[in-house]
Structure formats: C-alpha cells, structure tokens
Structure 1
Amino acid sequence: MHSTAAKITMRAAMVTVPLLAAGCFMPTKQPDAAMVKPAPEDRVFALPDQGASTGNVVVTRDIGAVGSKCAIGVMVDEQMAAHLNTAESVTFALKPGRHLLTATGIDGPGLCSFNATKSALARRRSTEIFVDADTTRKYRLSFPAVESPPVIEPAF
C-alpha cells in the first residue's frame, strides 16, 4: 500500500513540475498601463544635474514570473538610478544627447543575492539611447528568455 501511494505521488510530480516550470519560465510581457505604478522614492536615486533643457526617458519593468521576486537595477550612464520591481516605472529627465541605459542584477534577500554575483553582473546588458529636448521616450525592462539577463528595449 505504501509503495502504491509513493508511485502515485511520483507520477503526479512528474506531470505537475514540468507544467509549473513551463508557466514560470515564460518571457515577460508589457503590463497594461493601469497596472503600472511609479517606483517608490526610496528606490530612485539622484543623477548628476542634467541642465535646464531635458527630455524624459521612461523605463517600465515588464510583468511575468521570470525574476519577478527580485528588483532589477536601472543604470543611467553607468550610475545606479533606480531599482524596479515588476509593473513599476521610473522617469528620468536627461540632457539631450547620447546616454547608456543598463539593466543589472542587484543584491537582495534570499535567491535574489545571486543577481549580484560576478557572473550575473558580467551578463548585464546596456542600450544606447538618444534624448531630444522636450520629448519623451519609453523603454521596457524585460526578460526575453529564462536564460537571458534583463534587457532594456524601446516600448511603444
């Protein structure tokens, strides 16, 4: 009797675990506008003075299971600018010209501490952007695949 229960449990696990894993490891997607909230002020960091003439750059983090429990860092010109959780957004007023946006893992509790390992930081991705005065450009922070690091790409 005991071995029958064990066999049933094992078979259930063999079916359930792959289904759960498949659902958890889908690429992230853009959230509906109604879901997006601004990042709290304590996770948005000051950037150097950008001057009087600026353009806005909005970065919104996707929703989905990949990395959803860990904040992801957004760097502007190699300086940490914000830590975003899923469906959070941050707006940067940047001087016109070329800038570099970088998505990077940051240290956090539990398994999130793996985001700050040397190998994770080596896999961070940067995107070159161009800012025009008095314009707003939107970007999304996403995980295109489970194996990939987070990326920042244009959003529409």
Structure 2
Amino acid sequence: MKIYHVVKEYLVAKRLWEVFIYLFFGGLTTVVNIVTFALAYQVFHLNWPISNTISWIFSVLFAFVTNKVWVFQSKTENFKELVWEFSKFVFARVISFGMDMATMYLFIDLLHTGNLIAKLITQIIVVIANYIFSKVFIFKKVEIIEDEKTNSSSR
C-alpha cells in the first residue's frame, strides 16, 4: 500500500490523479464492454448491433458507479439529484454510443476489419469522449471555500 500512496501523492501533486483513475476505471469499463460484446456475439450468436447495444448497457451501468464514486467523487443530496446526474450521464453516453455504432459500422461493414479489432479502436474514441462529457457536463465537484475571517483577522 505504501507504493500506492506514494504514486497517488505524486499524481495528485501533478494534478493527474483524476485522469489516471479515470483511465484505470475506463480500462475496466472497456473490459466489461468487450467481454459482454464477445459473449453476446460469439457465445449467443447475436448480430453485432445487438451485441454492441448489450455491451453498451452493461458498461454504462458499470461506468456510472465507478465515475460517481471513485473518479469524480460526486455527491448528490437526494434521490432527485441522483436521477438528474444519472440522466445526464446516460444522455452523454447515448451520444458516445452513436459514435461507437458509427465507428463500428465503418470498421466492420465498410472496411471489413475484425469485430474485436473494431471494438478496440472504437473504445479509444469513446473513452476520450466520455471523459470530456463527464468532466465538463455531468459530475460537478463541490469546491470548499476557505473562511475569509481567518485571513482578515491576521491583518
């Protein structure tokens, strides 16, 4: 655990911890996406659009929890705020899902690459887009403002 704390302190000091932890959980989300796609496509013999949709649903649910709890440490005061945050998350993911489907179509149907190779390529694009959506539009950090009294009393 000592190495973890040293690495974390270093990345926090360089303001890279959030990106690092996002890429870590983004990588895990990609694994969830690819494994569920492969299962749906190869084991259950579903076509690639259905397989891709199933993998998207699983990865969105996984990503919401990990992004909310560990990456952006977002706090919601009540159920209504949680639903609003989840709704924004799903909306942004629908946009990236459109990017995913378009890229899959390009690579599979037009360029005739393998399904899993296409899936890997699309995941790079999707992870970048999703980070931007989550950072800018969905998860808002609450900033703690220092009390002005402590600064004015020292004058």
TM-score (norm 1): 0.30
Give the number of the structure with larger relative contact order, counting CA–CA contacts within 8 Å between residues 6 or more apart: 1
Bigger strand share: 1
